[in-house]
């Protein structure tokens, strides 16, 4: 749980129309009220569409949408144990909030302004599908590349019903969902742990817990039971695999149906091919059973895609920056006075200063130009060098040829150097 919590604030029943004398009248901008300035510590009342809760940070955040824009507010209530705050995606909620100052642990000297929720109340239930799974792309420092990963709606899972759980477990049964090898709960044998299966608290892939749960709920569905006779184990390192891009779920209580819509991407790494399709499954349910009654699948679209991690187009350009920086420093190391030079590399700028403090070379890699050639594994890297000599008053344009050996190893050679006006 986050270490930092907000102090409890008593609910204000009505919006404050006047600013007390002790309030700071400083104005701020907020996406919640984008057409007007927001005053510090003034309490406002607005309605927004709830999306989810995110408790992964020092402060807890409530995320939603207002006038088509994404908004987030810091909150301080226990939605897991208080049903009044256990909203579902799409619910329309009325929220009381104010613009307040916050500090982040470990950086107490920096004060930020942020929307802070005081209280919230559901005023209408959402009538659209709930996003159970989506994807986000973030930079992974460990592998120096952008990585796409699944995001599961944890607030929805907290109040999921057993029929919804069965529908999602059935859909994810034979589609890859970031499955990684590991050991069973007793640590005795190798098994496959999958994101959705684990999120639904069904143990590892093909576990007795998962299979018994599905067989019980689909006991009246002979087609589903036939599917459950063979359990697939496809790790996320498999040469040929499929994975989810999105899963939406919608329950109709009146008609006792559950609709699950999802998008799938398949890849064949050996042949550098990928394919996509979307599918919608409709289930009917009662208090103890569920049956798949309809399934519609789109046409499958195929395309050639170079998914080789060693291919130029799949390597983060920042990797080329760091490789060229190291190559330039290796060339400088050949000089006798290298140990006496001052070398700094900050914000992608490499600076080399002499022992008298003047700039010998200054490379701003943020301005580097990367050009391809007829050979797909060779690139030209052109970079400016401000300094270029003891006078520090010239500008050189230097071009290097970089040959990709694999995603982490390159051959670099100087091609030309031109003196600019």
Write out the DSSP string of 54-82.
E-SSSSEEEEEEETTEEEEEEE---TTT-
Report which of 228, 224, 189 is spatially closest to residue 206, judged by C-alpha positions. 228
Task: Check residue 392 and give its pLDDT.
Answer: 52
Cβ atoms of 316 and 145 closer than 8 Å: yes
* Tens-place pLDDT, residues 215-267: 999 999 999 999 999 898 888 888 888 999 999 999 888 889 999 999 999 98
Distance from C-alpha of 276 to C-alpha of 289, rounded to nearest angstrom: 31
Q: Give Cα 318 distance to the centre of its chain.
A: 19
The strand pair at 342-346 and 349-353 is best described as antiparallel
Task: Report residue 239 as tokens.
Answer: 């040469």
Report which of 75, 162, 86, 161 is spatially closest to residue 119, judged by C-alpha positions. 75
Could you say which DSSP state residue 340 is in? G
Report which of 337, 334, 312, 335 is spatially closest to residue 323, judged by C-alpha positions. 312
Report which of 127, 136, 91, 131 is spatially closest to residue 262, judged by C-alpha positions. 131
Task: Report residue 214 as tokens.
Answer: 């599905």
Q: In sequence order, what are the residues at sequence separation of 6 or more whose Cβ sits closer than 8 angstroms to the Cβ of residue 85? A: 77, 78, 79, 120
Distance from C-alpha of 320 to C-alpha of 323, rounded to nearest angstrom: 5
Could you identify the residue written with the tokens 């170079």? 306
- Helix, strand, coil percentages for the chain (3-state, nearest 5): 15, 45, 40
Task: Check residue 81 and give its pLDDT.
Answer: 87
Task: Report residue 12 as tokens.
Answer: 């204000």
Task: Say how many C-beta atoms besides its own lie within 10 A of residue 60's C-beta.
Answer: 22
Distance from C-alpha of 329 to C-alpha of 199, rounded to nearest angstrom: 48
Look at residue 244 and give its three-state secondary structure: strand
Which segments in the chain show pLDDT lower than 50? 1-24, 390
Task: Check residue 7 and give its pLDDT.
Answer: 36
Q: Give Cα 325 distance to the centre of its chain.
A: 29
* Tens-place pLDDT, residues 368-396: 888 877 788 899 999 999 875 545 578 88
Distance from C-alpha of 412 to C-alpha of 326, rounded to nearest angstrom: 10
Task: Report residue 357 as tokens.
Answer: 């403090």
């Amino acid at each position: 749980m986050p270490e930092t919590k907000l102090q409890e604030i008593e609910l204000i029943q009505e919006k404050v129309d006047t600013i007390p004398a002790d309030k700071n009248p400083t104005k701020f901008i907020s996406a919640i009220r984008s057409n007007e300035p927001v005053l510090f510590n003034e309490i406002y009342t607005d309605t927004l569409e709830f999306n989810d809760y995110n408790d992964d940070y020092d402060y807890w955040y409530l995320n939603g949408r207002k006038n088509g824009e994404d908004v987030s507010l810091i909150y301080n209530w226990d939605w897991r144990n208080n049903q009044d705050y256990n909203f579902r995606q799409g619910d329309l909620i009325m929220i009381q909030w104010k613009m307040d100052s916050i500090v982040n642990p470990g950086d107490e000297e920096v004060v930020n302004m942020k929307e802070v929720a005081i209280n919230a109340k559901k005023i209408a239930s959402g009538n659209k599908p709930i996003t159970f799974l989506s994807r986000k792309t973030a930079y992974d420092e460990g592998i120096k590349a952008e990585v796409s990963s699944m995001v599961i709606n944890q607030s929805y899972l907290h109040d999921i019903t057993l029929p919804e759980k069965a529908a999602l477990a059935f859909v994810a049964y034979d589609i890859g969902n970031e499955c990684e090898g590991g050991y069973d709960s007793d640590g005795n044998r190798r098994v496959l742990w999958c994101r959705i299966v684990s999120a639904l608290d069904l143990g590892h892939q093909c576990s007795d817990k998962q299979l018994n749960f599905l067989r019980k709920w689909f006991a009246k569905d002979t087609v589903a039971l036939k599917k459950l006779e063979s359990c697939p184990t496809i790790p996320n390192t498999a040469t040929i695999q499929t994975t989810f891009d999105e899963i939406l779920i919608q329950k109709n209580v009146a008609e006792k149906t559950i609709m699950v819509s999802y998008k799938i991407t398949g890849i064949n790494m050996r042949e550098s091919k990928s394919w996509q399709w979307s599918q919608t499954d409709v289930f009917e349910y009662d208090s103890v059973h569920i049956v798949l009654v309809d399934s519609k699948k789109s046409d499958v679209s195929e395309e050639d895609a170079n998914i080789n991690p060693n291919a130029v187009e799949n390597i983060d350009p920042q990797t080329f920056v760091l490789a060229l920086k190291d190559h330039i420093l290796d060339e400088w190391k050949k000089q006798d006075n290298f140990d006496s030079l001052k070398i700094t590399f900050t914000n992608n700028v490499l600076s080399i200063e002499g022992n008298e403090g003047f700039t010998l070379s200054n490379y701003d890699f943020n301005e580097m130009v990367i050009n391809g050639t007829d050979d797909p594994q060779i690139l030209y890297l052109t970079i400016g060098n401000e300094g270029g000599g003891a006078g520090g008053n010239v500008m050189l344009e230097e071009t290097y040829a970089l040959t990709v050996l694999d995603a982490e190893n390159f051959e670099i050679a100087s091609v030309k150097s031109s003196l600019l006006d």
